Amino acid sequence: MGGVQLVATFARARRGVLAVVVAFLVLLGLGSNGPVSAQEEGGEVKGSLVQKNEEGERVGVPSVTFRAFDESGAEVASTTTGEDGAWSMVVPEGTYDILLDVETLPDGVALRNPDKNPAQVTLIDGSSKSTLFPLGEPEESSAGGNTVIQLIVDGLKLGLIIAMCAIGLSLIYGTTGLTNFAHGEAVTFGAVMAYLLNNAGVFGVQLPLIPATIIVVVICGGVGGLFNRTVWRPMRRRGASLVAALVVSIGFSIFFRYVILFTFGGRAKRLRDYQIQEQWDLGLFRLAPKDLVLMIISIAVLVGVASALQLTRMGKAMRAVSDNRDLAESTGIDVERVISLVWIFGSALAGLGGVLFGLTESINWEMGFRILLLMFAGVTLGGLGTAYGALFGSIIVGLFIQLSTLIIPTDMKNVGALLMLIVILLIRPQGLFGRRERIG
């Protein structure tokens, strides 16, 4: 490469990094209304969470999280119960939904009336209201065939979301050889953008979740395309090594993650729409309507992606580039165009996955990084670089995570998936669907 050309590419790359950073900051800044000033007065909502132990004594349940949401659905306060099960929160005057975070209940403990969670309270300044969340008998919720089926359903839900996020990761690896550590931040970015549009609103308008999601998917695809064009394409042109590219992607991952923490805050937040839904009792398992819709959307998207890869010209080109880049190029495929489409679609799918994940649980600044490691587990299980492998691997990982809670404590469920990653590499490093070849 000549000197002049080199300088020019350097300049381009520098502009590229800058452009991505600026675009990212602008997008995050959109719609945030600045910090809400803290109010001095307010009312207190409190309670005491107790259960009966084996001797029939009433004992407190510690470390359970309660959250208060105002009428717009924004979380205004949260607290956890102390050793004696007591909790209290001070919130400004108004009407609130008080939600007990069921995830934080100890194993085998469940609410007696799950449909009365969240409970609505109205507070005026200086008042204090007690809210009761009676707990059921421990036997009611644990053990038995129902639990296994419930876990399988939950696992499928998680697996489908991981799969949606992982397809981009796997295709980017397949076409460019880059293990993109910043892919997790695309997931977080999607969820955070959905929160901004749905809860905070842009120019004072809070969009319903469905149009918001469509906008988020478009934005994420655009950002992914821009990211490829301004950072990765110049690096490929310069012939940068894969190790350098890997380190750059980690740098972006850390940088984006902490920019999101800086602007979004450290607390987990929930989307406004579809948050409070009564679960259907379907006999063998329970399912909220939004979870059913979410699973249908994921399956439809995944089937769509699979058939597009199988049937369309572009899909075939993508698989060809994944298979053998030079051969594909020599048959007249525009490799750069394929790669930029892979980035756009992969990022869009990751953003959608982020919104769906935010819908089932909550949105926080490092959710994407957590999911990234599960994606790695899924993608390695299926075979790095294969689109279908990523799909099946991710679903198996989702099932494995949920079913492993039968044996290990819920707060350590992700450890099982990561341990599985190590075991797979030990016995079948090419993954379930990967081609057997020397990869060392």
Partner 1 sequence: MDWGAIIQNSFRGFIGEPFIYFSLAAMGLNMHYGYTGLLNFGQAVFMAAGAYGLSMAVVTLGLNFWWGLLLGIVVFPLLLALIMGVPTLRLRADYLAIVTIAASEMFRIIARSPSLDRWTGSSDGLTAFANTFYDFNPFDKQKRYFFGLFIGNQMWVVLIGWIVLSIVVLIVWMTMRSPWGRVLRAIREDEDAARSLGKNAYWFKMQSLMIGGMFGALGGMFRAIGTQSAQPQNFITDVTFFAWVALILGGAAKVGGPIAGAAILYGILNFTDVFLRQLVENGYVPESVMDGTQVGQVRFMLIGLGLILLAIYRPQGIFGTKEEMALDDR
Binding site for partner 1 (CB under 8 A): 10, 13-14, 17, 34-35, 63, 179, 181, 235, 240-244, 246-248, 250-259, 261-262, 369-370, 373, 376-377, 380, 409, 411-412, 414-415, 418-419, 421-423, 425-426, 429, 439-440
Instruction: Give residues with Cβ within 8 angstroms of 310, minimum separation 6.
Output: 316
- CB 429 → partner 1: shortest distance, Å? 5
Between residues 315 and 382, which has the closer beta carbon with respect to partner 1?
382
Pairing mode, strands 286-287 and 43-48: unpaired
Nearer to partner 1, 251 or 289 (CB): 251
Separation of alpha carbons 174 and 172, rounded Å: 5
Query: 296: Cβ–Cβ under 8 A, 6 or more apart, which residues?
Result: none
Integer CA distances (angstroms), 143 to 232, 288, 415, in order: 50, 21, 22
Q: Which is nearer to partner 1, 212 or 231 (CB)?
A: 231
CB of 249 to partner 1, least distance (A): 9
- Residue 26 or 426: the one with the smaller Cβ distance to partner 1 is 426
Six-digit token string for 373: 């490691």
> Phi and psi (nearest 5°) for 92?
-65, 165
Nearer to partner 1, 117 or 179 (CB): 179
Counting other chains too, the contacts that 408-412 makes at CB distance below 8 Å and 24 or more residues apart are: 409/107, 410/103, 410/107
Angle at which helices 183-195 and 209-227 cross, to 10°: 150
Q: How far apart are the first and last CA of the chain?
A: 30
Instruction: Indicate the residue among 327 and 415 with the shorter CB distance to partner 1.
Output: 415
Quote the least distance from Cβ 97 to partner 1, whole Å.
Answer: 27
Q: How far apart are CA 293 and CA 208, in angstroms?
A: 16
Q: What is the DSSP letter of 62?
A: -
Least distance between partner 1 and beta carbon 281 (Å): 30
Q: Least Å distance between CB 254 and partner 1? A: 3
Cβ atoms of 406 and 142 within 8 Å: the answer is no
CB of 294 to partner 1, least distance (A): 25
Q: Give the CA distances from residue 46 to residues 49, 56, 88, 113, in Å, rounded to whole numbers and listed in that order.
A: 10, 24, 4, 18
Closest approach of Cβ 434 to partner 1, in Å? 12
131 or 386, CB closer to partner 1? 386
Name which of 256 and 343 has its Cβ closer to partner 1. Answer: 256
Phi, psi of 13 (to 5 degrees): -60, -40
Closest distance between partner 1 and the C-beta of residue 326, in Å?
17
